[in-house]
Amino acid sequence: MKRYLYTGLFLLAAAAPLRAEDGSRLWLRGNATAHARVAAGRQSPTIAIAVSELQAQWQGAAVQLSIVPNKALGDDGFSISGSPQSGVTIAAVAEQGLLYGAYHLLRLQETQSLPPTLSITETPRYALRILNHWDNLDGSVERGYAGRSLWKWGELPDTLSPRYAAYARANASVGVNGTVLNNVNASPQILSPPMLRKVKAIADVLRPYHIRVYLSINFSSPMALGSLETADPLDKAVQRWWGGKVAEIYRLIPDFGGFLVKANSEGLPGPQDYGRTHLDGANMLADALAPHSGIVMWRAFVYSPNDPDRAKQAYQEFMPFDGKFRPNVIIQVKNGPVDFQPREPFSPLFGAMQRTPVMVELQITQEYLGFSNHLAYLGTLFEECLQSDTYARGAGSTVAKATDGSLFAHPLTAIAGVANIGSDVGWCGHPFAQASWYAFGRLAWSHSLPAEAIAREWLRQTFGSDSAFVEPAAAMMMQSREAVVSYMMPLGLHHLFAWGHHYGPEPWCRVPNARPDWLPSYYHKADSAGLGFDRSSTGSHATAQYFTPLREQWDNLETCDERYLLWFHHVPWGYTMKSGRTLWSELCHRYQSGVDSVRAMQQAWDRLQPYVDAERFALVQSRLRTQARDAVWWRDACLLYFQTFSRRPIPYALERPVHDLDELMKVKLEMTHHN
Ligand code: GCW
């Protein structure tokens, strides 16, 4: 079986009732036909952007932009008053509030939700709303499925791609105010003087949109770039080197945001190479940045094999340091304890680390959700994580509240999303993948917005406001991520991916001498008795890292949320599930329901053809076909493989597999992108 992943599309010769669109305008498709009267009491490059956006697009009467001393609005907040008919006032403490207010007003117009009288006050829940680009200096993008890197390092700093400003505009329109330009697997070269001049050129373009630049750093930089013989964070020469480097950066980029650090993780250097700790490393960099008000985002994605359960390791390594970090350090924690799986319970560090600022890292790029081939709207995944109750201070202690400064009063609050953006004309590789970028920005601003409301907003702006389109399309989006969970890894299964890439299934994968925790069998633990990883008190006891009542609920097979069942338990094949079916039978039903959902998405999409331009219609239709084939592939691979252990028949009411296990075990994908 040969699979063609990025080999072009066969566009259908469908009638094109609507203008063709390539997706390049994202959700900002307002037609520049308006000539609104817009007045501002002050001038600045940022205010000029707000004014010109409103002038071009606002269909109502006049707009007044005012700076007011209303401290309650904070740096980024705004209020909107007046009425579209008689005139609107946008007020803010700072210029960026006016910019966000302008985009908010235009969004209400474009989504056809302008009330007759406006009385709006908005402030963001997180101070820092940051995209992380895993972009390498050679133009490749780690886990990127939307072409090459947006950053054209070769032609910078002299040539500025028009996409930089378009990128800044799109982000500002949803409130994103920071970007880490380079991969966390960082090359020391990013801090070399020529590269810093290129970074400065990008920062200059992003500045009027109030997007700060941050960089990922390599912990060995003092050795690779300087002539030091060590990168020991307690070494005075090392500290001086970082101090000098940071000062050099701020001379070029006075509003530079700070560093993102992946250290002692997946082979990268870090303080532990010198017998020091994450605390020593983070605080050393924090001291270098503090005089310039820069911050350190230190990642907790670590799993040195000191405990047989990888899911426990970040908590074990970081909890002892709680309360000991400098105030300008924030710990960046992936949503789940393992690694961006289609579904994971939230990381136990949320809620547990109370005396240190902690930020959520979400993955917008679909590393584990079918790349840009599969339609998987991640607003629901982000919402599920942010609304998970940690019970850290009793019921209602959601991950969102444990990180937004409300439950634990930290002035430094932030959230990050690993971008799915590249050189692709449509930015994200799949028209619907734009929605996950959009949703990240909207949730970073307001983490209690329902994913469904965000989907509708995005659809109206990106395609059109006809409810005959919006309602079925929103329904399709809302079930899309759950569909992926069902056909890939239902009931708490995780990491069944093929070796070397994370696209297709390889639950049988064996690689001689590989780290056990990089192999699917480490996670699914299938045997003749049953399936799943025992993380309960009879196993690795990861449940103990959660607060009561979760630890008890999840510890007990009978009360464990079935979404996480095989995450926390090794369950007998004949175990009776809530549906009354056996585990085996339930597993078969779940895989089939995933396939069925994709078929339903295909049907729903085909019905929407009259409402969509031909170009995007055909692209989505073609991607859904790939997704439908892949869903069957996943179902057959996983069920036929697990059946070698369960030795039970696939329930007779369900579709039969269409592949042979032997054949599937021979599939080797030719991936054209970086794995
Ligand atoms: O998910 C894993 C990815 C790596 C990534 C790493 C991380 C950037 O497979 O590609 O490296 O996580 O988040 O550091």
Domain that holds residue 176: 128-462
Query: Are residues 380 and 455 located together in one domain of the fold?
Result: yes
Q: How many CB atoms lie within 10 A of CB 1?
A: 9
Across 252-266, b (16+ Cβ under 10 Å) vs e yields ebeebbbbbbbbbbe
Amino acid at 104: H
Asked whether residue 55 falls in the same domain as residue 197, the answer is no
Do both 273 and 412 map to the same domain? yes
Indicate whether 447 pLDDT > 70: yes
Instruction: Answer yes or no: do 429 and 381 share one domain.
Output: yes
pLDDT of residue 108: 98
Question: Are 115 and 138 in a shared domain?
Answer: no
What is residue 172's predicted lDDT score, i.e. its pLDDT? 99
> Is residue 43 in a domain?
yes
User: Of 462, 494, 519, which closes a domain?
Assistant: 462
Q: Give the count of beta carbons closer than 10 Å to the beta carbon of residue 472.
A: 17
Task: Evaluate if residue 3 carries a pLDDT over 90.
Answer: no
Q: How would residue 5 be classed by pLDDT, with cut points 50, 70 and 90? A: very low
48 and 186 housed in the same domain: no
609 pocket-lining for ligand 1 (C-beta < 6 Å): no
- Residue 545 within any structural domain of the chain: no
Q: Is 555 in the pocket of ligand 1 (CB under 6 A)?
A: no
Q: Are 484 and 374 in contact (CB under 8 A)?
A: yes
Residues 109 and 149 in one domain: no
143 lines ligand 1 (CB under 6 A): yes
First to last CA, the chain: 20
The whole-number pLDDT of residue 304 equals 80
Kindly give the number of the ligand 1 atom that is closest to the alpha carbon of 185.
8
Tens of pLDDT along 14-69? 344 466 699 999 999 987 788 899 999 999 999 999 999 999 999 999 999 999 99
Determine the distance separating the centroid of ligand 1 and the alpha carbon of 521, expressed in angstroms. 20
Whether residues 82 and 231 fall in one domain: no
pLDDT given at position 670: 62
**CATH number, domain with residue 235:** 3.20.20.80
For residue 32, the model assigns a pLDDT of 73
What gap in Å lies between CA 378 and CA 605, rounded to an integer? 18
CA distances from 134 to 183, 186, 327, 406, 418 (A): 4, 9, 26, 30, 7
Average pLDDT estimate for 642-664: 98
> Is residue 492 a part of any domain in this protein?
no
How far from chain centre, in Å, is Cα 157?
29
- pLDDT tens for 293-326 read 999 999 999 998 778 999 999 999 999 999 999 9
Q: Is residue 73 part of a domain?
A: yes
Residues taking part in catalysis = 266, 339, 367
Q: Is 133 in the pocket of ligand 1 (CB under 6 A)?
A: no
> Which of 132, 133, 134, 341 most suits a substitution to test ligand 1, by most atoms within 8 Å of the C-beta?
134
Q: What is the pLDDT of residue 35?
A: 86
What phi and psi values does residue 180 have, to the nearest 5 degrees? -95, 115
pLDDT category of residue 7 using cuts at 50, 70 and 90? very low
Q: Is 214 a domain residue?
A: yes
In the chain, the number of structural domains is 2
Query: Is the beta carbon of 301 within 6 A of some atom in ligand 1?
Result: yes
Are residue 70 and residue 185 in the same domain, yes or no?
Answer: no
Write down the pLDDT at residue 399. 99
Give pTM, 2 decimals: 0.96
Over 70: is that where the pLDDT of 492 sits? yes
Residue 9: the pLDDT is: 33
> What's the average model confidence in pLDDT over 568-587?
98
Query: What are the tens digits of pLDDT across the range 363-377?
Result: 999 999 999 999 999
Average pLDDT over residues 402-429: 98
Give the torsion sign (CA, 402, 405, 407, 410).
positive
Residue 493 lies in a domain: no
From the CA of 573, how far away is ligand 1's center (Å)?
Answer: 33
Judged by phi (left if over 0) then psi (alpha if -120 to 50, else beta), residue 261 lies in beta
94 and 147 co-located in one domain: no
User: Is 105 a member of any domain?
Assistant: yes
pLDDT above 60 for 90: yes
> Residue 572: helix, strand or coil by DSSP?
strand
pLDDT value of position 80: 98
* Domain end residue (candidates: 414, 447, 462): 462
Q: Is 140 a pocket residue for ligand 1 (Cβ < 6 Å)?
A: no
360: which strand partners?
A: 333, 415
Distance CA 201, CA 212 (A): 12
Q: Containing H/E element for 90?
A: strand 87-92
Task: Give the pLDDT confidence score for residue 590 in this predicted structure.
Answer: 98
Q: Is the pLDDT of residue 12 over 80?
A: no
The percentage of the chain sitting over the pLDDT mark of 90, rounded to a whole number, equals 92
Do 314 and 224 fall within a single domain? yes
pLDDT for 672 equals 42
pLDDT in tens, 253-285: 999 999 999 999 999 999 999 999 999 999 999
Residues 587-640: tens digit of each pLDDT:
999 999 999 999 999 999 999 999 999 999 999 999 999 999 999 999 999 999
Q: What is the CATH number of the domain that holds 117?
A: 3.30.379.10
Q: Among 143, 420, 497, 515, which is best to mutate for testing ligand 1, by the most ligand atoms less than 8 A from CB?
A: 143
Q: Is 144 helix (H, G, I), strand (E, B) or coil?
A: coil
The confidence score (pLDDT) of residue 18 equals 61
Task: Say if CB 386 and CB 374 are below 8 A apart.
Answer: no
Question: Closest Cα to atom 13, ligand 1: which residue?
Answer: 301
E-strand ranges in 224-343 read 258-261, 295-299, 329-334
Q: Is residue 167 part of a domain?
A: yes
Which structure tokens are listed for 196?
Answer: 């810093």
- What residue has token string 């750093």? 217
**334 and 374 co-located in one domain:** yes
Provide mean pLDDT across the span 63-82: 97
**Residues 182-231 pLDDT 10s:** 999 999 999 999 999 999 999 999 999 999 999 999 999 999 999 999 99
Given 427, 462, 497, which residue is the final one in a domain? 462
Tell me the mean pLDDT in the region 121-131. 98
